[in-house]
């Protein structure tokens, strides 16, 4: 290491070193050794491993084994990337599944997404019935009343759930649940069955069935929902609709997981 490199390393801000390590590791999806990273940054081996261990401790990178093994991007960083994926990307990937669900049910179908502490519809496909005026892209879904919101909320951590539901809630219809304990019980059922319902709870006469879109290692941010009249959704075709929504949500989960992996690789 020459004097100019040594001087630069000595005066470099600590955070800059961490960022540079992340940039290098991101360029090696199959992993890179700590020794190689140190050489690329002109750092002593001990310093490189100390910095990389700090990044591994907070799950921004992960180590595949002992110190002789390789490092790659960690799940926490991947979760951050996943959370920042644009709605436009999601629409392109999810639209064929939405169309398939709408064609098979004859009902309006949409994707919902959690952003902050609010769930909103992202994209929808409708057969042209009156539900088009009921669910539109960008509409906020009541967390305590909408099936699509419940399907997402059920898989959040308890503190987050409490921050959203353990407060005065608006009664939208006579069927709206506003008791925190009752809502927690419903979310537990959603976790067990993999499906959430709204039965006249946000708009009288309308119902919804939703399933979470879950990607391994990622926070649950999306759900797939079919909505329409209570008769069309539940009374006439309940079992068929439940089966379809669960199957296609699982299908969409696999599609999104593959697409996200490709997006992460291309972005790094």
- Answer yes or no: is 6 within a domain: no
pTM for the full predicted model: 0.68
Domain annotation covers residue 131: yes
> Given pLDDT bands bounded at 50, 70 and 90, which one contains residue 48?
confident
**pLDDT at residue 97, as a whole number:** 86
Phi and psi at 202, nearest 5°, equal: -110, -35
Q: Are residues 40 and 165 in the same domain?
A: no
**Residue 248 and residue 194 in contact, taking contact as beta carbons nearer than 8 Å:** no
| Predicted pLDDT at 1 | 43
* Mean pLDDT on 15-39: 80
Task: For residue 16, give the CATH number of its domain.
Answer: 1.10.10.10
243 assigned to some structural domain: yes
Do 226 and 97 lie in one domain? The reply is yes
Strands (E), the chain: 32-33, 61-63, 70-73, 108-115, 118-125, 140-141, 196-199, 206-213, 222-229
More confident residue, 111 or 265: 111
Any domain includes 7? no
Say yes or no: 67 and 160 in one domain.
Answer: no
> Which tens digits make up the pLDDT trace of 208-266?
999 999 987 788 989 999 998 999 899 988 999 999 999 999 988 888 777 665 555 55
133 and 212 share one domain? yes
Spatial neighbors of 93 by CB under 8 A, at least 6 apart, are 255, 256, 259
Same domain, yes or no: 52 and 107? no
**b/e code 215-241 from CB counts within 10 Å (16+ = b):** beebbbbbbbbbbbbbebbbeebeeeb
Bridge partners (DSSP) listed for residue 172: none
Same-domain status, 122 and 171:
yes
Q: Both 119 and 151 in a single domain?
A: yes
Residue 235: HSE in the Cβ half-sphere, 13 Å Cα cutoff: 10
Q: CATH no. for residue 115?
A: 3.30.450.40
* Most confident option among 28-42, 89-103, 173-187, 212-226: 173-187
Q: Which domain holds residue 60?
A: 12-72
Q: Is the domain of 49 the same as that of 110?
A: no
**169 is written with which tokens?**
């809630």
Same-domain status, 202 and 94: yes
* Total domains present in the chain: 2
Question: Does the residue 59 lie in any domain?
Answer: yes
**2 assigned to some structural domain:** no
In a domain? residue 196: yes
Q: Does residue 117 sit in the same domain as residue 146?
A: yes
In a domain, 129, yes or no: yes
The better pLDDT of the pair 27, 147 is held by: 147
- C-alpha angle 136-142-147 in degrees, rounded to nearest 5: 80
Residue 128 shares a structural domain with residue 255: yes
Is the alpha carbon torsion for 227, 112, 202, 250 positive or negative?
positive
């Amino acid at each position: 290491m020459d004097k100019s490199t040594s001087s630069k390393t000595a005066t470099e801000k600590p955070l800059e070193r961490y960022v540079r390590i992340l940039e290098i590791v991101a360029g090696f999806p199959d992993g890179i050794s700590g020794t190689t990273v140190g050489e690329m940054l002109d750092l002593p081996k001990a310093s490189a491993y100390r910095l990389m261990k700090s990044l591994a401790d907070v799950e921004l990178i992960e180590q595949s084994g002992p110190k002789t093994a390789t490092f790659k991007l960690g799940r926490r960083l991947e979760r951050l990337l996943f959370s920042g994926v644009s709605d436009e990307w999601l629409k392109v990937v999810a639209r064929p599944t939405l169309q398939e669900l709408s064609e098979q049910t004859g009902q309006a179908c949409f994707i919902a997404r959690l952003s902050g502490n609010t769930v909103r519809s992202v994209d929808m496909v409708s057969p042209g019935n009156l539900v088009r005026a009921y669910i539109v892209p960008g509409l906020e879904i009541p967390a305590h009343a909408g099936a699509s919101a419940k399907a997402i909320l059920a898989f959040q951590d308890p503190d987050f759930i409490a921050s959203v539901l353990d407060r005065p809630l608006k009664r939208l219809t006579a069927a709206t649940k506003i008791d925190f304990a009752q809502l927690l019980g419903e979310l537990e059922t959603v976790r067990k069955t993999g499906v959430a319902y709204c039965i006249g709870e946000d708009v009288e006469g309308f119902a919804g069935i939703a399933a979470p879109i879950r990607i391994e290692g990622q926070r649950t941010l999306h759900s797939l929902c079919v909505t329409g009249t209570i008769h069309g959704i539940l009374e006439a075709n309940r079992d068929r609709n439940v089966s379809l929504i669960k199957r296609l949500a699982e299908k969409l989960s696999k599609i999104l997981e593959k697409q996200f992996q490709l997006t992460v690789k291309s972005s790094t």
